[in-house]
């Protein structure tokens, strides 16, 4: 080694880890630009409309369940509805966080956007389940 020069020593496992992280990041970027949005590969506009519709549906279901809870006499069917609503709340948590941050003018971040993209179908399915249970009462 020459005097006055510095060598950067990086272990092989560190290089491997760095390559894996970069590859994952590039793959994430490619999914947004090439494959479209959501599980169906929709355009950004179509996906945004779907997400908005799902949010409105689950918000309406939450309101209806709240009105049901205020009524008299909780039946076994009501308990089934309440359980389904809790599952919907869990499945829609990323969507609700995204909307809340958007309303408050806070940064949403790429990771949260990806969580919304991955969870929108489960949220939608859970909201439709609550809707069906409410109609059946």
1-39: per-residue pLDDT in tens? 555 544 444 445 545 554 554 544 444 544 444 678 888
Answer for the pair 118, 45: CB distance below 8 angstroms, yes or no. no
d(C-alpha 101, C-alpha 105), whole Å: 6
Task: For the chain, state the CA radius of gyration.
Answer: 23
Quote the pLDDT of residue 15: 53
pTM: 0.72
Token couple for 108: 């949403």
Quote the pLDDT of residue 71: 80
Per residue in 52-70, pLDDT (tens digit) is: 999 999 999 999 999 998 8
Burial class (CB in 10 A: 0-12, 13-18, 19+), 6: exposed
Average pLDDT, the chain: 82
């Amino acid at each position: 080694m020459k005097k006055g020069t510095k060598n950067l020593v990086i272990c092989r496992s560190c290089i491997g880890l760095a390559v894996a992280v970069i590859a994952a990041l590039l793959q994430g970027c490619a999914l947004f630009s090439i494959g479209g949005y959501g599980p169906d590969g929709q355009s950004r506009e179509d996906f945004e409309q779907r997400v908005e519709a799902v949010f409105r549906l689950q918000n309406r279901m939450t309101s209806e369940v709240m009105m049901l809870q205020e009524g008299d006499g909780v039946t076994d069917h009501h308990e089934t509805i309440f359980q389904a609503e809790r599952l919907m709340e869990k499945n829609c948590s990323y969507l609700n966080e995204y909307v809340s941050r958007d309303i408050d003018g806070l940064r949403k971040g790429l990771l949260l956007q990806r969580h919304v993209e991955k969870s929108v179908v489960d949220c939608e399915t859970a909201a439709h389940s609550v809707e069906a249970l409410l109609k059946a009462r």
